[in-house]
Structure 1
Amino acid sequence: MDDLSIDLAGTALVLIDLQNGNMARELAPYSAQAVLGNCVLLAQEMRNRGGMVVFVRVLMNELQSPPADAPLRAPGSPPPPPDASHFAPEAGVEATDIVITKRQWGAFYGTELDQLLRRRHVKTLILAGIVTNIGVESTARAAYDRGYSLVFAEDAMSGITAEAHEFACKNMFRMMGKVRTTAELIDALQAGTGEA
């Protein structure tokens, strides 16, 4: 798939929940470390070309927890440790990156993300992070509803299960935007012209 070109000035890389509490998760089909490695590669490529990098983190102790048939955290389980919401040190958040803090799955509701993107004339989002079928998908749906063009870094995200990841990538994300590998995205960033 070589039909992807990226207008760097109008594109932001949005990395979801690369934080200690998620790095300890069992993920599939890619490990948390593999996802983090690909996210770091994408962030470095964006920065090297003057692109916008956004790191999103969730305050795990402030996540709402309404009654559910299959809650993420069992009722009565101890709260996450205080550093669960800190970015993984290997994520390499830099002073020039934008940091968004959220209290729900998606990165738009109740945050300044949309305003920051629009003030910088961003029209395209490259999405990656943990977890595919929770934070990434919730953010993607909200971005799609707001009219952003979307590109998904398939191997720079992973799911609670391989089936959940594959369902999102093959069925949902392809309806909302373009799904590519980290290598394909880096090639497109290095070409650096046109629109996503």
Structure 2
Amino acid sequence: MLDTRKTALVVIDLMPRIVALDAAPYSGPEVVRQSLRLVGAFHGAGSLVVQVRVERPGVAEQPPGSSFVAEMEPQDGDLEIVKRAINAFHETGLQEELRDRGIATLVLAGIATNWGVEGTGRAASDYDYELLFAEDAMTSFTEEQHTFAVTQIFPRLGTVTTVEKILGSLA
């Protein structure tokens, strides 16, 4: 069972311009659906939900589709993080926010598996978080890239699991 007071869900880059990209093994909309299941369960358990989006540094205006997809707009109590690097910890204050809330475990989801999710997972591992990777709530640009991350990288950083198993551990 997850300690819901010390566990946060971190959802990475579910923005229209990213969700619309060709992805595998899951489509962007499939990742949004699975992530929404997690968000609902985490809200229901009173756990922290962290919504992360990326902005391109050094540009006057962000490209269209740079906000959160409508279904994933942060709700009251959610933490919104805007990153300008691959990982959500780099110069965002995320580490301080999580530590101030006593968070010890992170569940990671989002797009892309081997970019934002992996980068954030690697940084989180450096900060000694216990990590759960929701394999069916993330995707990449090719199935091979996704599979490599979930079979070769993530098991060295934490536990690769499914949305169903995470939902069961919150009950």
| Match 1:129 to one of 104, 110, 114 | 110
Q: Residues 38-80 of structure 1: CA distance to partner in whole angstroms, max 9, x if unpaired?
A: 0010010000010000000001x3279xxxxxxxxxxxxxx99
Percent sequence identity is 41
Question: 1:81 and 1:63, CA in 2 relative to 1: closer, same or farther beyond 3 A?
Answer: closer
Q: Tell me the equivalent position of 1:45.
A: 41
Q: Tell me the equivalent position of 1:110.
A: 91
Q: Residues 89-140 of structure 1: CA distance to partner in whole angstroms, max 9, x if unpaired?
A: 0224212211000101100011010000000010100000010000000000
TM-score, normalised to structure 1's length?
0.83
Q: Tell me the equivalent position of 2:132.
A: 151
Deviation for aligned residue 1:81: 6.1
TM-score, normalised to structure 2's length?
0.95
Question: 1:184 and 1:45, CA in 2 relative to 1: closer, same or farther beyond 3 A?
Answer: same
3-state secondary structure, aligned to 2:64: helix
Gaps of 5+ in 1: 65-78, 191-196
3-state secondary structure, aligned to 2:76: coil
Q: What letter corresponds to residue 90 of structure 1 in structure 2?
A: E
3-state secondary structure, aligned to 1:144: helix
Q: Residues 166-187 of structure 1: CA distance to partner in whole angstroms, max 9, x if unpaired?
A: 1100111011111111111101
Q: Tell me the equivalent position of 2:50.
A: 54
Aligned mates of 1:160, 1:34 — CA distance in 2: 14
Q: What letter corresponds to residue 136 of structure 1 in structure 2?
A: V
Question: 1:99 and 1:22, CA in 2 relative to 1: closer, same or farther beyond 3 A?
Answer: same
Q: Tell me the equivalent position of 2:17.
A: 21
Q: CA-atom RMSD, angstroms?
A: 1.7
Aligned mates of 2:17, 2:110 — CA distance in 1: 13
Q: Tell me the equivalent position of 2:161.
A: 180
Deviation for aligned residue 1:158: 0.2
| Match 2:146 to one of 165, 171, 183 | 165
**How many residues are paired up?**
171
